Structure 1
Amino acid sequence: MAWRLVLTRTNTKTQTLNPNSNPFLSLFFTSPFSTSFLVTKTPKKFKKKHKRNKESPRTKRVQSNPNLIPHFERIVERDSYFRFATKSKTFLSSQPEHVLRLDDAGKLHRELGFPRGRKVARSILRHPLLFQTYRHTDSKMWFGFTDLMEDLLLEEQAIFNSMESQRVATVRKLLMMSVNKRIALSKIHHCRQIFGIPEDFRDRVLKYPDFFRVVVEGDGRRVLELVNWDPSLAVSALEMEFMVDEDKAKRAFKFPVKHGKDLDLDFDDSRKLNLLNTLPLVSPYSGDGSKLDVWTLEAEKYRVGVLHEFLSLTLEKRASIHHIVEFKEEFSLTRHTYQMLLKQPRTFYLAGTEMNWVVFLKDAYDENGVLINKDPQVVFNEKLCRLAEMQEMEPGLSNCTLIKELYVAGNKISDVEGLHRLLKLTVLDLSFNKITTTKALGQLVANYHTLQALNLLGNPIQSNISDDQLRKAVCDLLPKLAYLNKQPIKPQRARELLTDSVAKAALGNRSSRKKAGKRMSQSRSFSASGHKSSTSVVQKSKNRSKSQAHRQMSLTKAPAAEASTSH
């Protein structure tokens, strides 16, 4: 009977809550009423249309289509493509024996520059001429440089040594622009690559006590301080341009004067009115920028001048946001630097995205996006990128690493390239070519240690600059050179080499010396009467070049040598 009482009470309660329910069905369903008739989803026509989210600053480009300059954007994309090659070169160079276990390399995605979560071996295979993997005796896979890359590192080290005085001047100018004339060494080290500063510069600055002082602060941070102010360095690139082309310097920046439309000014009148604000320009070496009122026009012109000079000191006349932020306190920059640069489109171009932008000096590049004045380090970096793209080495002169003497006279060479792997080269004959400036010889810095004799007779460079200037430029580039144009540079060094093959190759036989001396004494320009004699000498030089090349090729069993020339 107990179960009947419970069932009766349940039925009574159910009927009270839902009078339309069937008593028979209530025995099986305990739910008091059904909710199936209710609409639980909102119809589409009543749903609110959500606005599409704005594009993320990480992917949104700085420049829109009308103002986009493709060649600057391609440079930023190129840097992204070669990030692994450049960062891995830097990191491996600091490791003992320039090697790293592959298992450890897979955990260093930030240091080596490959995408997080990807296999490092995939990035290594993209650059087979620079990096390689091998199995060590411990049965572990290791990651290191190829022989070609080791040679390139020696070439880069020679560039660092030859350009040390220029890099010292760059650091001095940075200190002269900074607040209190001091910058932390860690900040300079972080941005060293855009200035061409070597990895060991913290040790090199100790060789210049007249310029720098290293101070260790209480927290252990090492700070570089300026010792002496040099007025000759306190001249900005914009001031030097102002002295050469005043109108061009005036057009570099624009600080417009607000005026009503009822003035009805034409273009020239508006430009003259704006010059009231634009001039005078504020030099980045004029004083301490932190003492200026942040929102004044003078402070803005000072910050624009500082950034212009900062970019002028870089190798490629460009810098990313990460490099500029490093010197925010030292250069009294504000958080509105991005907007400030956008307001000066005549001089600056911002490429990339809003989060990772790069600022360029537009006047430093030609209409094709090629840097006008290239530092030797820039030339090296471009060559490194070319090799990073190649899957195998092309046959040619650069593979004949055992060559000690090279004669390429009369081949219309205007720029010396492709000799970076000839690390045993001692004699180089470039006579009767088309070399016009000392910049064309810049890549000879790779032969810094070995080259002892260089012949440039019959090149236009002899008429462009004096013999003393040529001698000084070549000796600065190749301090171990003993003979230049068949004349001894250092008598003591020449006497030491007098009996060996280098002296014989450099001086040649007595008759050829007399002919060359007679021809150069008569006239430095090629006249009609002397054209036949010069042609015969060129022909002899060609024959000698061929014989030397055949002899060398037979010894090394290498492919035919090809000199990299530009016509």
Structure 2
Amino acid sequence: MKDLIEKEAMAVSEAEVATVRRLKKLLMISTDGSLNLHALWLIRKELGLPDDFRNSVLPNYPGDFTIVSPDTLQLVSKDESLAEAEVEKWRAKEYAEKWLSEFETKYAFPVHFPTGFKIEKGSREKLKNWQRLPYLKPYEKKGVNRVGNVERFEKRAVGVLHEFLSLMVEKMIPVERVSHFRRDFSMEVNVRELILKHPGIFYMSTKGGTQTVFLREAYRRGCLVEPNPVYEARRNMLELVLLGRRNTNSVGCVQELAERCNEGSNELFAGTCDGDWAVSIFEGRDERSPTADVSDMEVQSDEEDQD
């Protein structure tokens, strides 16, 4: 177990440059380029930072970060090359490979419903229209106004949460920790309700009494689609715990990790619609595929219109 813990620490250290890049992107999402250091400390594991990042990482990048008060981290220089959300890669692929129009892809998100999830005809049309709805993207700073633009305001919150999860090492985070960034990201909505309203984009587990949100598209059969060294190191520790090869205090140190990863393995694509996260407009079950992208919705809608 000691070797695996050291392996994780080494993976975190070797990924420092990539982690700093993600930290800069988080600061760029904030309204004024600053974030609370305690809030960042709470998500240090999810972001891939070491416990002592304030002393071991931040001083190495004086041209990027500065601590302007005892508890506030400020971005020194904004890198415009980083001002693109991860979802844009998927949109570009949809546009290029499926010959979809920019109108269909510019503001769309990957949607993957659990097995057996049924969308009624009227609800499918609503989802299709929602996918086309313009919104202020995470790195755009034109002012966020909720009055008179509730749907766009909420869609922006979806975009911010999607990007937030994309920047996490394991594409998941306890819901409670997201709340520490709501005001800084101008997404002052009920985060839990937002997650439950979009089950095709997010998945929320409530195992162990902790609500954890996963980015649904990032997982297949309980594993990350694009694993990284830090994730792999933690996965190895999880496997050791699950195999019961050790019964020492060190196992307790990774118990929380084991529970969280086990949730992802057993539930994320288990195909169940149990719990209170399935909103009413998506009620019902059928035998169709659990996934649906922009082109799928086009085909399904056209087929139903012909019925």
- Per the alignment, do residues 251 and 193 of structure 1 end up closer, same or farther by CA in structure 2, a change over 3 Å counting? closer
Structure 2 residue aligned with 1:356, among 185, 191, 210?
210
Which position in structure 2 is the counterpart of 1:107? none
What displacement does 1:386 show?
2.2
State the Cα distance separating 1:341 from its structure 2 match. Answer: 1.9
Could you tell me which residue of structure 2 aligns to residue 331 of structure 1?
Answer: 185
Where structure 2 has 5 or more consecutive residues not aligned to the other structure, the ranges are: 112-119, 247-307
Aligned: 1:155 with 2:7 = yes
Preserved contact between residue 179 and residue 288 of structure 1 (Cα < 8 Å) = no
Distance in 1 between the 2:204 and 2:35 partners?
A: 26
State the AA in 2 paired with 1:161: S
Quick one: which of 6, 13, 28 aligns to 1:176? 28
Select the structure of larger CA radius of gyration: 1
Structure 2 equivalent of residue 283 of structure 1: 137
Compare relative contact order (CA 8 Å, sep 6+) and give the higher one, 1 or 2: 2
Match of 2:74 among 208, 217, 225: 225
1:505-529: CA deviations, max 9, x gaps? Answer: xxxxxxxxxxxxxxxxxxxxxxxxx
Written as runs of structure 1 = structure 2, the 5 A alignment for 1:126-141 is 130=1
Q: Does 1:292 align with 2:292?
A: no
Q: Return the alpha-carbon distance in structure 1 between the equivalents of residues 230 and 37 of structure 2.
A: 22
Cα distance between partner residues in 2 of 1:350 and 1:184: 25
Map of 1:488-503 to 2, 5 A cutoff?
Answer: none
SS of 2:204's equivalent in the other structure is strand
Query: Structure 1 counterpart of 2:110, which letter?
Result: A
Distance 2:212 2:61 in 1: 33
Distance verdict in 2 for CA 1:162–1:292, change over 3 Å: same
Alpha-carbon distance in 2 for matches of 1:270, 1:154: 49
How far apart are residue 197 of structure 1 and its match?
A: 0.9
Instruction: Tell me which residue corresponds to 2:85.
Output: 236
Q: Secondary structure at the match of 1:386?
A: helix
Deviation at 1:222, TM superposition (A): 2.3
How many angstroms apart in 1 are the aligned matches of 2:127 and 2:48? 41
Cα distance in 2 for partners of 1:361, 1:277 equals 17
Maintained 8 Å contact 2:154/2:189 = no
> 2-side partners of 1:277 and 1:269: how far apart?
12
Task: Give 1:252's aligned amino acid.
Answer: P
1:252 is aligned to 2:252: no
Secondary structure of residue in 1 paired with 2:68: strand
TM-score scaled by length of structure 2: 0.66
Which of residues 379, 382, 386 in structure 1 aligns to 2:239? 386
Q: Secondary structure at the match of 2:82?
A: coil
Q: Is the 8 A contact 1:176 1:285 kept in 2?
A: yes
Give the whole-Å Cα distance in 2 for the aligned partners of 1:370 and 1:304: 23
Distance 1:297 1:305 in 2: 12
Greater share of residues in helix: 2
CA-CA distance at 1:327 after TM superposition: 1.1
Match of 2:115 in 1: none
Q: CA deviation at 1:230?
A: 1.0
Instruction: Name the CA shift for 1:335/1:273 in 2 (closer, same or farther; >3 Å).
Output: closer
**What is the rounded CA distance, in whole Å, between the counterparts of 2:167 and 2:138 in structure 1?**
13
Paired with 2:238 and 2:18, the residues of 1 have a C-alpha distance of: 24
Residue among 207, 210, 214 paired with 2:67:
214
Q: Which residue of 2 aligns with 1:518?
A: none
Instruction: Show the counterpart of 1:190.
Output: 42
| Structure 2 residue aligned with 1:445 | none
Q: Is the contact between residue 284 and residue 302 of structure 1 (CA under 8 Å) also seen in structure 2? A: yes
Unaligned runs of 5+ in 1: 1-129, 131-148, 254-265, 394-567
